[in-house]
Chains A and B, each alone.
Chain A
Amino acid sequence: MKIMIVDDSKAMRMIIVRTLRQAGYGDHTLVEAASGPEAIGKLSKGEDPDVILCDWNMPEMTGLDLLKRVKVEWPKTKLGFVTSESSDKFRSAAAQEGAAFFLCKPFTPEGLKAALSPVLG
């Protein structure tokens, strides 16, 4: 299984990797991207993650815009949000576009596992 982490914060990518390991996903292949365009670049070059963990607010491209693009061009890839946005407005928008999950920062290994289990099995 392969997991892609898309977040413009290096610290947050590090925390997500650490939490994935704590949640039991240490044997999965982890791919990182610091922006939506970088994620698209990697997907275009053949990276085929089973799931993308994506921030919402990023400078060049929002996570929601990345989701819209992924849905069309890589429909087998699931995308879920790991974000500091917490209001229902954002949850609804994510659900409407077919996000796999919506996890608020900060999150626990248990919370991350609960979000990922239905996606990764």
Chain B
Amino acid sequence: MAPPRANTPTPDAIAVLLSGLIGRKLTTKPGKPWIPSTSAPSAIGVFKHDAGDIAAVVVFDVAFAAHASASLVLIPPGVANESARAGKLSESLLENVGEIFNVCAQLFVSNDAPHVTLKSVVVCPPPVPKDLVPLFAKPGARVDFEAAIPGYGGGRIAVLV
């Protein structure tokens, strides 16, 4: 039997959730599908059902991850800009991204859908972990958009279910 599918959130639902968490109203625009790679460094939140199968991933490119992380705890935007330029997240920025992903779990939850929790946060590069490759290759559904955080910067967000 195929594992149960998680809900697929809309860009609006994601933006509303992130705006509430960050305390700034995100602006969004449609984006093209992309896959994390060496040339597209990213942070990936991996969400699993209680049975252990992968339910969904939320992917922030390094620019959005840096700006969202910095804005969450009011780190100056310059730190996020520097991180985005370098294509890397410091340990503290990554920790904040983890908390953002943690809250994102509720995007996949409804009373009639299986329970979903954040199980891990991975960064790319190195390459996407092998167990995520099938989902990136052939997701059941995906949402791609760009988001900007007022007072900070923005970047790309993808959700694959």
Instruction: Say if A and B assemble together.
Output: yes
Using CB atoms and an 8 Å cutoff, list the residues of chain A in contact with chain B.
9-12, 14-15, 57, 84-89, 104-108
CB pair A57–B117 under 8 Å, yes or no, is: yes
Cβ contacts A to B, 11 pairs, < 8 Å: A9-B98, A11-B96, A11-B99, A14-B73, A15-B72, A57-B117, A84-B106, A85-B106, A85-B109, A105-B103, A106-B17
Using CB atoms and an 8 Å cutoff, list the residues of chain B in contact with chain A.
17, 20-21, 72-73, 95-96, 98-99, 102-106, 109-111, 115, 117
Known: A106-B17, A106-B20, A108-B20. A84 touches B73 (CB 8 A): no
Residue numbers in B under 8 Å from A84 (CB-CB) = 102-106
What's the A-B contact tally at a CB cutoff of 8 Å?
44
In the bound assembly, the distance between CA atoms of A89 and B117 in angstroms comes to: 14
In the bound assembly, the distance between CA atoms of A88 and B109 in angstroms comes to: 10
Main secondary structure of the interface of B (DSSP, over half): helix
CB pair B99–A12 under 8 Å, yes or no, is: yes
CB pair B111–A104 under 8 Å, yes or no, is: no
In the bound assembly, the distance between CA atoms of A105 and B19 in angstroms comes to: 11
Chain A's closest residue to B101 (CB) is A84
CB distance from B25 to the nearest CB of A (A): 12
